[in-house]
Amino acid sequence: MDIMNKVKGWAKAIADVGVSFIALGIVLEILFNGQGIPFWPNVSVIGNVQGVLQGFSDQGLIGLVAVWIFISYLQQKII
Judge if 36 and 11 occupy the same domain.
yes
Would you say 68 and 56 are in contact if contact means Cβ atoms under 8 Å apart?
Answer: no
Judge if 31 and 48 occupy the same domain.
no
- Helix (H) or strand (E) holding 70, with range, is helix 61-78
Judge if 32 and 56 occupy the same domain.
no
Note the pTM of the prediction, 2 decimals: 0.60
Judge if 56 and 31 occupy the same domain.
no
Rounded distance, CA 72 to CA 74, Å?
5
| Residues of the domain holding 17 | 1-40
Judge if 50 and 23 occupy the same domain.
no
Judge if 34 and 51 occupy the same domain.
no
Residue 12 has pLDDT above 60, yes or no: yes
Chain centroid, CA 18 distance in Å: 7
pLDDT of residue 56: 74
Nearest one of 45, 42, 56, 55 to 19, comparing CA atoms: 45
The number of CA neighbours under 13 Å toward the Cβ of 70 is: 9
Domain count, the chain: 2
pLDDT of residue 79: 45
